[in-house]
Each structure stands twice: as structure tokens, then as C-alpha cells.
Structure 1
Amino acid sequence: MFGVLMVDSSIKYRTKRLDEEDVYENDAQYNDKIIERLKLLEIQNRSFITEKLKLEKEVESLKSELERLNAPPLITGVVVEAIDPTKVIIKSSSGPKFVVGVSSKIDLKDLIPGALVACNQRNLSIMEVLPSTKDPEVCGMEVLSKTGVTYFEIGGLREQITKIKETVELPLKKPELFDKVGIEPPHGVLLHGPPGNGKTLIVKAVANETDSTFIRVVGSEFVRKYIGEGARMVREVFNLAREKSPSILFIDEIDAIGARRVDTGISGDREVARTMMQLLAELDGFDPRGQVKIIGATNRVDMLDPALLRPGRFDRLIEITPPTREECLDIFKIHSRNMNIKDLDYSVIIDLIDGLSGAEIRSLCTEAGMAAIREDRDYVTSEDFKCSVSRITSSECQNNSLIGMYG
């Protein structure tokens, strides 16, 4: 009996031991699962925190956007004078002047006379300084891409090119030379001469060589319908040239606004005269050794007002003369260098092109190429040039007769 009890107790002890070992094994697996679960929850928590921060930023952005849209509109004004750090005289867009306060966020150095500002509707306090506005037409006058024209593409005109280099290139590239000598370079350059001889081409080459901003405007663009619009446009063009310096401001056909003033009662003539007076004032206000150079061009220098040609405005007058016999041949070689030409006799060509302008020689090369295309050829001959010369000279004679008929 005692032996049976001992066996039973031994069996129970072993069974209990096995149960405890199973529990320990189950506890270890459970702990591993808990740890894995905790790691997963931590990853999810970090993801939720990141998402929360992102949403909070988006909410703040939407709130600020809503506040901006709900803010009352501001009115514009122009600074007349700064009285002290807290008071400024402005001229409102409606006309009258006011003494107003200034926001603490504004730098007082920006409140210069003429600055455009935004004011509160209630008390007209200055809230911010606005950038200066420009006419879209004025901004469109800037040639953004480089002209790509070099002096080697200009036939002849070596003396004129040297003069314009001295007047425009040297002050932009080496202003210290003028300081050492103690002189001031010419304020402006006026190119004049018959049409088609390379006035605009020279200016493009200068702009390309100096790596300057090239602003081209035709004089007739300054002629406006309403009083004061032309003068405002002149002022904005010169301001654009100053901002984009170093720059070259090229005013083509300047006789459209620079013609000699006459005593007439026509309102249009008076408005053109006002525009020219604004141009004279802008030319006088330029630093000759600054980073802006003014070049004018005209076919009728005899029509210009003497005030425009006096020293201090257009100091140097450069005449662009028709090409000589040798220069005509140089121009022809430049325009025909990419053409497929066979059996060309230059002694014949030089007799054909003698007396033509640079533009006419270029047109001659184009017409000769068109003649070859009409005959289904891929090359140009001397006969094509002969036919083209007769065509160009006949059209020139026709144009001259029309000019004589109609003035």
C-alpha cells in the first residue's frame, strides 16, 4: 500500500513538473509575441504622429489662406515725403494727400519719394511697399536672347565701328581709362544715313560684344493718344534700362518724336513735343560713365530738333555712309558664304553690285537663290545674279518714282 502511494506521488510530481515547463515555454512565446506587437504599435504610432504633424501644417496653411482671403482689400498710394520714422505723406489713388502711419514691419529705407505703397482702407496706414509697376509694352521691348551678330558679319564701315566702340564699348568695359585721362565719354551716339546701310546691324553687334541687355524701341511707339502717356512711357523705358544695366537702349527712327518743333495749333504735335521734352530730360539725367548707353538712329538727321543734338545729349554723330566698291564686295561675300555657287566671276559681280546698299546686296543673294530654285537647280550661277540685279534695280526705280509722285 505504501509502495502504491509512493508511485502515485511520483507520477503526480512528474506531471506537475511537465505542466510547469509547458507554462514556461508558453510564457516565452507569449512574451515574444507581445514584444513584436509592441514594435508594430510603435511603428504605427510614429506613422500617426508624422501624419498628424502633416495635417496640422496643412490646417495652419489653410487657416492663413482663409485669413488672407477674408482680409479687406488695400488701396494703393504713392509716397510724397517721409516726415519722421512714424509719419509719411502719401498721395492716394483718388488724388488727395494724407499724413499716415507706417507699419513696424516696413523698412523705412524703402519709403522713398515715388515709391508705390499699399494702405489700409480705414486709417490709410502703410501696410507694405509694392514693387514698381511697368507697362507690359515696355517690358516687351527688352531683347532677352543675345543678338548673335558680330563685327565680322558687317561688311565695311570700319571707321564707324571704331568710333562706336570708343563711345559705347570702352565706357562699359574699361571705365577706368576715362578716369585716368580725366575726361567723360560722349553721353549718347546718333547713327544717321540712308536706309539699308547697317545702322541697326552695328547696334546689335555692340550689344552682343558687350554682353549687355539690349532694349530696342521704335520712336513711333512713344506717340500715344492721351496726354502724358508718351512721356510716361519714355520715363519707364529709361527706368527699365537702369534696372537692367549694363544695358544699351537703342531708339530707332528717333525722328518720329525728335523732329524740329514748329508753332502749330494741332494737339497731336503738341503731345509729340511733350514726349520729346521728357526724352531730353532723361538724356540729361544720365551718367556718361554709367552702365547704360543710349544709341539713336535716323534716316533724316536734318529733321531733328537742335536741342536733341546739342552737347550733353547726342554728343557724337556717326554717319553710316553707303558702301564703297570694295565694301560692296565684302558685303556680298558675307551674304553668299553659305550659298552653293558655281562658276562665279567676282569681276563681273563687283560691277553688278556697285552702288547698292547692304540690304539690297542681301536681297540680291536671296533673289539669285530663288531663281535657281525656279529652274530646279541646287546651285547658283552668275546669270542668276545678273537677272536678280535687274529685278532689284527696276523695283528701286519704281519706288523712287512713287516717292517723287506722292512726296
Structure 2
Amino acid sequence: MGQQQSAHGHGFNRDKKDDKDKKRRYEPPIPTRVGKKKRRAKGPDAAVKLPHITPHARCRLKLLKAERIKDYLLLEEEFLKNIQIAKPQEERQEEERGKVDDLRGSPMAVGTLEEVIDDTHAIVSTSVGSEHYVTILSFVDKDQLEPGCTVLLNHKTHSVIGVLTDDTDPMVSVMKLEKAPKETYADVGGLDNQIQEIKESVELPLTHPELYEEMGIRPPKGVILYGAPGTGKTLLAKAVANQTSATFLRVVGSELIQKYLGDGPKLVRELFRVAEEHAPSIVFIDEIDAIGTKRYESNSGGEREIQRTMLELLNQLDGFDSRGDVKVFAYIIYFFVIMATNRIETLDPALIRPGRIDRKIEFPLPDEVTIRKIFQIHTSRMTIADNVDFEEFIMAKDDLSGADIKAICTEAGLQALRDRRMKVTHEDFKKARESVLYRKKEGAPSGLYI
């Protein structure tokens, strides 16, 4: 019995030990895949090893389906090609232009081409002064690319996407008259000697340059017209431009005075460059005394800028550019300068010396014969009464200019319209003459206002 108890006690102890072993056994945690990448097979064998493919009964059907899809895609491609061919050429060009515009982007920057490296690369400079090594897109016309030209740049990559063919200053474009002036020599009363001189100086070299070549002389480079206001200087310049069918550029001297430093000389260079491009041409600079006055020592920045503008004008009249190379002389390219001023005594001697301004033409106040011709020109289309006697106005010593006579005729017509009449009488001309002289002499005497 004691043995049975002992055996029973040993069995109980063994069960108890097994339970402890079960509790002490280590169980590893379940692995997680968060933050771990799957390892890839490395080595040359893994790169060239073919995947294992198990044949399937439906493989043949899949192949037939893929071939049929390919046939449909080829048919669609051929159909689209035929549509493009059948499209009108204008629509295709419009689509191509749209694609080019997409490549260019918007807005487009403007830069200056400094150097062409090869057909696809160039160096450009922007307005801020920085230089960039950029690419030239394939649709850009390479023949128009030359150092110094203005190019269009993509606003992100700065690639050259176009060339600005007409980079003329807008102010110079306004100076160029698109249509020839309508004034002719018949509209100029009198001034026979002045017309003859300007024909020899400007018109003849433009129409018959071979005469000067046979004589072995050079025609004048420039002509200056001077005289009292209203004596027909601008009118005669327009008549010359009409007679020669030359490009006429008209600029007032005050327009060459610019606000910022260097803009005045730049405008002068641009003016002469446009004149050379549109040769034969005539550059008419009215009121030249605005920039051509005598030089003197001045501490004013504005005065020094005006003097620099005049120096650039002298440089252009000499026939040499800023690089020192001899350019084509004016008599070869038939390019002339006509200046006009009311005060020639105030001009700088270097501006009007021979070689720059070779011919000086004076416009005096009209004499009796000239006044009679001017009255005939301005009254040719007016309805004149029988009692009008122009000799009274012709013989009067009023120092009338051509502009004053035109103003008298216009004022007389307005007097008739004010009285509801279609004919101009002698009394209308008398009132018009008094009105014009009153304004010309700057009003009534001061004693009238006492």
C-alpha cells in the first residue's frame, strides 16, 4: 500500500513538471511585413532566367484575340492617315501652328542673340544683362539668325523659339509716312529759285543719278532750308518727296530729345537705319535748332544729353558708323537729309559746314508777284464775288507770309459762312486781313486795356 502511494505521488510530480515545461517554452512573435521590402533575386542568372510558363488550353485563343486587336489598330492608324491627307492644307497648317504655339508657350520673353554656336545651340542675353547657353528649336528659321538680332525666348527654358524680323523702334515707325505727300510744285506759289535749287540738290540725284556720275561730282548730302515762319519750307520738302516717290521720314527736332540717358542718340541711329533700309528716302528734320544749337559749357545733364544727340547726328551725316568702318555714302544709296529752321544763326557751325550740309536755301518773305500767285492758289476753289480786288492786299506793306495769306483766305470763307452766304466778298477779305494781322502782332496795344 505504501508502494501504491509512492507511485501515485511520483506520477503527480511528473505531471506537474510537464506543465512547467509547457509554460517555459518560447514562442517567437508572428513576423510583420510593414516597413520591409521584398528581397529580389540577385545575380546574372536571375536577370536572364525565363519565367516558367505552363501550357494552357486557352493560349491559342488569346493569341488569336491579340492578333485581331493588332489588325484593328493598324486599320485605325491607316484611317487616321487618310483623314489627315484628305484635310485641306489650310487646316493642317493651322493645326501645325497650334502645335508650334504650344511648344513656344506664353508669354514669350525677348532677348538678343549674342553668338551662334551650332545649328541647335546659341548664346543669348536677356534684358537684365545675363547671358544663357540655350537650344534653338527645329522650327526656327536659321537663315534669319545673326548676331545682334532680336529673338523670342521661352519664358521657362529660354530656348530660342522665333526671330523678330521687324525690330524697328515704334517712334521711328510713326515718323515714316506710309503714303506719299499729295503736295506738288504747283501748290507752291513763287519760290522759283528755291525750287530750282532743291531740284538740283535732291530730286535730280534720285531720278537721274547717272548725270552726276558722268560729271564726276558727288551730289549734296544734305540741304538746309531757313527763313521766316510760314514761307513754305515744309511744303517744298513734301513736294520733293511727292515728285521723287521716295520714302519720306518726317521728324521734329524736339522728338529727338528723350527723357533717359542715351535714348536720343539711339533714336537718331534707328532713324538713319530705317532710312537706309527703305532707300531711296528723304529724312526731313524740321525745327533742327531744337538739338543743333551752338555748344557751350553746361553743368545741366539735360543740355549735355542734347549735345550728345547732336554729336550722333553729326556722326551719321559724316558717313561713318560707330565701328569706324566706311559705309556706303549717301550719294550711292540715294539717301538725303533736308533740315529746316527759322534761326540758322543759332545752329552749331559743325552741323552746317560743307560736307554735311552742302546747300543752304533761303526762304524770304514773298514779294508782290509771289503774293499774287499764292492768292490765286488758295482762292482757286472759292466762290469769289465780282467786287473783290486782291491788288489792295498785294500792294499793302504788311510783310505777309504764305501761311498768313492762306489764313486770310480761310478766315474770309468763314466770314461768308457766318453771314449765310456762299460767295466771298471784298469786305470779308478786309475783315479777315485785319483779324490775321491782329493775331500776328500779338493782340491790341496795351493802352486799350487801361
TM-score by length of 1: 0.77
Report the Cα distance in structure 2 between the residues aligned to 1:368 and 1:61, rounded to whole angstroms: 61
Does 2:409 correspond to 1:385? no
Q: Which amino acid aligns with 2:259?
A: K
Greater displacement, 308-317 / 162-171: 308-317
Q: Which amino acid aligns with 1:68?
A: D
Unaligned runs of 5+ in 1: 1-48, 403-407
Matched with 1:130 is 164
Does 2:361 correspond to 1:313? no
Matched with 2:101 is 68
Does 2:321 correspond to 1:278? no
Does 2:330 correspond to 1:287? yes
Indicate conservation of the 8 Å contact 2:226/2:363, yes or no: yes
Q: Structure 1's 86 and 61: CA in aligned 2 closer, same or farther, altered over 3 A?
A: closer
- Number of residues paired by the alignment? 355
Q: Structure 1's 66 and 393: CA in aligned 2 closer, same or farther, altered over 3 A?
A: same
% same residue: 43
Q: Structure 1's 400 and 145: CA in aligned 2 closer, same or farther, altered over 3 A?
A: farther
Does 2:86 correspond to 1:53? yes
Does 2:438 correspond to 1:394? yes
Q: CA deviation at 1:398?
A: 2.0
Q: Structure 1's 56 and 319: CA in aligned 2 closer, same or farther, altered over 3 A?
A: closer
The structure having more radius of gyration, on CA atoms, is: 2
1:6-405 equivalences under 5 Å are 53-54=86-87, 61-62=94-95, 65-66=98-99, 68-71=101-104, 76-80=110-114, 91-96=125-130, 110-118=144-152, 128-285=162-319, 286-342=329-385, 343-352=387-396, 355-398=399-442
Report the Cα distance in structure 2 between the residues aligned to 1:55 and 1:335, rounded to whole angstroms: 59
Q: CA deviation at 1:399?
A: 6.0
Report the Cα distance in structure 1 between the residues aligned to 2:175 and 2:409, rounded to whole angstroms: 31
Report the Cα distance in structure 1 between the residues aligned to 2:142 and 2:99, rounded to whole angstroms: 30
Greater displacement, 224-233 / 388-397: 388-397
Report the Cα distance in structure 2 between the residues aligned to 1:290 and 1:80, rounded to whole angstroms: 29
Report the Cα distance in structure 2 between the residues aligned to 1:293 and 1:227, rounded to whole angstroms: 28
Matched with 2:78 is none
Report the Cα distance in structure 1 between the residues aligned to 2:256 and 2:268, rounded to whole angstroms: 7
3-state secondary structure, aligned to 2:224: strand
TM-score by length of 2: 0.70
Report the Cα distance in structure 2 between the residues aligned to 1:69 and 1:377, rounded to whole angstroms: 67
Unaligned runs of 5+ in 2: 1-81, 320-328
Q: Structure 1's 400 and 329: CA in aligned 2 closer, same or farther, altered over 3 A?
A: farther
Q: Which amino acid aligns with 1:323?
A: P
Q: Structure 1's 50 and 333: CA in aligned 2 closer, same or farther, altered over 3 A?
A: same
Indicate conservation of the 8 Å contact 1:213/1:247, yes or no: yes
3-state secondary structure, aligned to 2:441: helix
Q: Structure 1's 59 and 311: CA in aligned 2 closer, same or farther, altered over 3 A?
A: closer
Q: Structure 1's 57 and 273: CA in aligned 2 closer, same or farther, altered over 3 A?
A: closer
Indicate conservation of the 8 Å contact 1:101/1:125, yes or no: yes
Indicate conservation of the 8 Å contact 1:78/1:117, yes or no: yes
The RMSD of aligned alpha carbons is 3.3
Report the Cα distance in structure 2 between the residues aligned to 1:389 and 1:211, rounded to whole angstroms: 37
3-state secondary structure, aligned to 2:404: helix
